Structure 1
Amino acid sequence: MFSYCSDPDLLSGLRWLSCYLTTGKHMSFYLSFGTVLLLLAITAPAALAFGFGGAMMARARFAPLSWIGKAYIAVVRGVPDIAFFLFFVIALDQAIEWLRHKVKCPDWDQPVRQGNDFVVCQEAKMPLGEAAQWVHETYGFGLAVLTFAIVFGAFAANVIYGAMRAVPRAQIETAEAYGMTHRQAFWRILVPQMWVYALPGLSNLWMVLIKATPLLFLLGVEDIVYWARELGGSKTARFTAYPHGDWRMWYFLALLVFYLCFTRVSEVVLERLMKRLTHGQATAGGEAQRRANA
């Protein structure tokens, strides 16, 4: 990046460090922080949508729909995250390719399963072999987002389901007695008050989601953990223009600081949001605010 970086062998001290920290790989490392933030920005509302849908299904009056919602919550929450991530991504990828294979290659006369190999025609590959690198990265990132949303959506569904049950039933009955339909009472009475009870659990889930972002590394996405390991490992002059020892401790220390700062900012924002939601509510938090303002 700097003009004096043309010959790293002549550099030392801060000049060497400034050139080392501005190499192309380090730029990819810095951009990977954006990948993590983008994952959180997309996954959080997606998981919340899965959670809200799962909770609505779990409390549905139609029994089969309720069974599906409760099964989704129980099964996904009962499987270890790593096992689900590794299984679901592979299974979903193969399912997409199998469906494309059936449509694009109807004359294929060989079995798709050949021992331990999963073989489909080239036209059915996702993404295609000649596709640009960004297409492969976007596809992998999309699978990761969907997997995160399904996993954390199950936990969110359990939290929201409990929050819906925490709203006093008498308020729903009163709303219906005043002429509201069941749907109107749900959206105008239950849902607005439900968030007060759900936010503590959703706040904890948000913190867990932040800590789970290194799982991107297991899904083949070049995230901050991937680059910290790659850049921090021992490098010799044979493999890089900036040889160094094992610096992984310093790279992972930087990740530690990043996550601690990010979680602290999240705590402050969530605390303010909780105060806003509990204002005027007949809850312990709302009562504490009334006493403080008295």
Structure 2
Amino acid sequence: MFPYCTDPSTLEGLSWLSCYLTTDKHMMLFYSVGTVLLLLAITAPAALMFGFFGATAAKSPFFPLRWLGKIYISVVRGVPDIAFFLFFVIALDQGFEWIRHKLKCPDWSEPIRQGNDFVVCSVAKLPLGDAPQWVHEVYGFALAVLTFAIVFGAFAANVLFGAMRAVPHAQMETAYAYGMSKRQAFWRVLVPQMWVYALPGLSNLWMVLIKATPLLFLLGVEDIVYWARELGAAKTPRFTEYPHPDWRMWYFLGLLVFYLGFTRVSEIALERLMKRLSHGQATAAGEAQRRAQA
């Protein structure tokens, strides 16, 4: 990175440290921070969408749809997250390849399941064997995002389902008395008011989602935990130009500071959002705001 980094063996002190922290592998560590933030930026609204549809289905008067919504919430919430993360990535990957295999290789005569192997034709592979490396990385990241969205969407669905039930039923009856249909009352009365009841639960879910990002390592994505462990391990002069003892404690301490700082910023943002949503609402927080303004 710097001109004086050509011969690390001649460097000492801050010069050595500046060159060490700007190596290609450390650039991958900094890049992985962006990967985690991108995961959160995509997964949060995706999980909220899954949760909204799951909660709406669980509240539906149509029995099969209500049954599916409640099964989705109960099954995902009742299984350890790590089991679902490991299962969904394999299941989704093989499911996509199976569909492509049926479409692209209809004349295939061999069984797809051959013992413990899952064998499809070469053109059905995802990604293709000759695809660039960035395609493999994007595909793995997309599977991780979808898995996170499905798992955390079930928790969001449970929170939103409870929030929908917390909206006073008298307000729905008033909407019907004014001539609104069930659809109109749902979108104009229930949905706008449920967020103030849902936000505390969604806030906790957001914090859990932040803490769950190290599971990316289990899904094959090189995240900050992977690079912290890789870079912090002891290095000898035989394998690197920047030898050092075991520094994993310092790297993981840096991760601790990163996550604590990020969660603190999230707490401040969520607290301000809660105040905004509570304004004018018939809740304890809304009543406290009215008394403060009086």
> Does the alignment reach a TM-score above 0.5?
yes
Give per-residue Cα distances to partners, 1:94-138, cap 9 Å, x unaligned. 111112122222232222222211122211110011101110000
Counterpart amino acid of residue 143 in structure 1: L
Alignment match, 1:74:
74
Alignment match, 2:236:
236
1:114-129 alignment, distance < 5 Å: 114-129=114-129
Where does structure 2 lack aligned partners over 5 or more consecutive residues? Answer: none
Alignment match, 1:273:
273
Alignment match, 2:52:
52
Matched, 1:13 2:18: no
Task: State the shift of 1:13 in Å.
Answer: 1.1
Structure 1 distance, partners of 2:33, 2:261, is: 13
Alignment match, 2:160:
160
Alignment match, 2:112:
112
Task: State the shift of 1:288 in Å.
Answer: 1.0
Structure 1 distance, partners of 2:113, 2:234, is: 41
Give the total of aligned pairs.
294
Alignment match, 2:227:
227
Describe the SS at the equivalent of 1:281: coil
Alignment match, 1:149:
149
Where does structure 1 lack aligned partners over 5 or more consecutive residues? Answer: none
Task: State the shift of 1:50 in Å.
Answer: 0.4
Structure 2 distance, partners of 1:104, 1:201, is: 45
Alignment match, 2:260:
260
Matched, 1:29 2:29: yes
1:177-196 alignment, distance < 5 Å: 177-196=177-196
Task: State the shift of 1:234 in Å.
Answer: 1.0
> Identity of aligned pairs, percent?
80
Task: State the shift of 1:289 in Å.
Answer: 1.1
> Structure 1: which 4+ aligned runs deviate by more than 4 Å?
none
Matched, 1:250 2:250: yes
| TM-score using structure 1 length | 0.99
Structure 2 distance, partners of 1:114, 1:180, is: 58
1:201-220 alignment, distance < 5 Å: 201-220=201-220
Counterpart amino acid of residue 19 in structure 1: C
Structure 2 distance, partners of 1:103, 1:62, is: 34
Task: State the shift of 1:176 in Å.
Answer: 0.7
Structure 2 distance, partners of 1:106, 1:180, is: 52
Counterpart amino acid of residue 47 in structure 2: A
Counterpart amino acid of residue 167 in structure 1: V
Alignment match, 2:2:
2
Task: State the shift of 1:292 in Å.
Answer: 1.6
Describe the SS at the equivalent of 2:245: coil
Structure 2 distance, partners of 1:244, 1:130, is: 38
Structure 2 distance, partners of 1:132, 1:55, is: 40
Alignment match, 1:288:
288
Alignment match, 1:39:
39
Counterpart amino acid of residue 282 in structure 2: A
